[in-house]
Structure 1
Amino acid sequence: MPRFHFLAITFGFNLYWLLAVWGQFDYIWLLIVMLVACWWIFQGSWRFAIIAATAGISMDALLSYFGVYQFDGNAIPPWLILLWLGFASFVWLLRKVIQNYPSYVLVVIGSIGGTVSYLAGLRLEAISWPMGIPVTMMITLVSWLVYSIILLVLLKLSVQRWGED
C-alpha cells in the first residue's frame, strides 16, 4: 500500500473517531455518509465490517451490562455502533499492512490502542467508568486483548473466504 493511501485512510479514520466520540449524536448523519461512501468505494469492506463490528458491539454490550461502562441511556448509543462499523472497515482497508506484522505485536497494539481510545472517550465524556479508572483500564485492556485475537482470526478467515477484494 502506498504511503499516501495509508496516511489518508488513517487520517480518515481518526476524523471518523473524533466525530463519533466528540460529536456523539451531533454528527451521526456525517458518520453514516462517510461509512456508506467507504463501503461504496471499497465494496468488499462491508462484509467484514458487519461481522467484526458485531463482535465489538457485543463486547461493549457485555461490559455495559456488567457495569464496567456506562452510556447515556440504557442501550449502546448509535454513534458507538457506527464507530464500530467504521473501525472494522478501517481494519479491512489496512488488512495488507496488518498481515505484515506478527500476531503478538498486533494483539499488544490492539490492547493498548483500544484501552487508550476508551480512556479518551472517558475524558471527552462520551462514556462513564463506574468502577473507577484503574479497574476499568485493566478490564478494558484484557477485553481488547481478547477482541484483538478474535479480530485477527476474523480477518484471516475473511481474507480466505472473500480474497483480497
Structure 2
Amino acid sequence: MWPWAQLLGFNLYWWLAVTWQQAAPLLLLLGLHLLCSPDARGDLRLWPLALAGCLLDGLLWRLGLFQFSHGFPLWLGLLWLGFAMTLGQGLRWLLALPRWQQGLLGMVGGAGSYVAGAAMGSVHLSWGIGISAFTLALIWMWWLPLLLWVMVKLEGEPR
C-alpha cells in the first residue's frame, strides 16, 4: 500500500511545486515522507540522484532550453529530492521492466512533466514546445534508466 500512497503523494508534491513554487510546503512534505517511510534511511541514500537531476537541469537551463522567472529555482531542487525518493518507493516497479521500456516511460513521463510545467506557467521552454519536448524526450530516454541503474548501485543490497 505504501508505494501507491507514495506515488500518489508525489503527484501532489509535483503539483504543489509547480503551482506554488514555494520551498516551505515542499520541505514539510519531504519531512512527512521521511517520517512515514518504511525505509527513510534508504530514501536518504538516494538523494545523490536529486543532485544529479539538479545538475542536469542546471546544465539545460544554462544552455537555454528552459528559463525561469528568477534564476534557477529552489523548488526545482526540492522537486528532485521528492522524485529521487519516489524512484525508491512508488516507482520501484520500473526495475522489473527492460531498459527500453524504462526509456520509453522516461520519454513520456520526463518530457511530459516539463511540458505540463510550461503549460502551468512555471517554466518557459525557450526552444519552442516541439523542439524542447523532443530534446527532453531524447534526454529522458536514457536518463530514467540511468537513474534506476544508479539507484540500485546506491542501495547496495536489495530491499
Q: Once the 2 structures are TM-superposed, how far is the Cα of residue 95 of structure 1 from its aligned partner?
A: 5.6
2:124 aligned to which of 119, 128, 140: 128
1:12 corresponds to which residue?
Answer: 9
Q: Which moved more, 1:99-108 or 1:118-127?
A: 99-108
Contact 1:121/1:127, CA 8 A, preserved across alignment: yes
Where does residue 79 of structure 1 map in the other structure?
Answer: 75
CA distance change for structure 1 residues 17 and 95 in 2, over 3 Å: closer, same or farther? closer
Counterpart-to-counterpart distance in 2, 1:95 and 1:7: 9
- 1:123-162 paired onto structure 2 within 5 Å: 123-159=119-155, 161-162=156-157
Match of 2:97 among 95, 98, 101: 101
1:156 CA drift (Å): 2.0
Aligned residue identity for 1:45: D
Residue in 2 that maps onto 1:89: 85
Retained in 2: the 8 A contact 1:56–1:147?
no
2:64 to 56, 63, 67: 67
- Residue 5 to residue 114, structure 1, CA distance change in 2 (3 Å): same
CA distances 1:103-146 after superposition (whole Å, capped 9, x unpaired): 21111101210111101100110000111111111111112123
Task: Show CA shifts across 1:82-115 (max 9, x none).
Answer: 1000011011113642222222111110121011
TM-score (norm 2): 0.90
**Is the 8 Å Cα contact of residues 59 and 143 (structure 1) preserved in structure 2?**
no
Letter in 1 for 2:132: T
Matched, 1:37 2:37: no
Q: Which segment drifts farther, 121-130 or 30-39?
A: 30-39
| Unaligned ranges ≥5, structure 1 | none
**RMSD between aligned residues:** 1.5
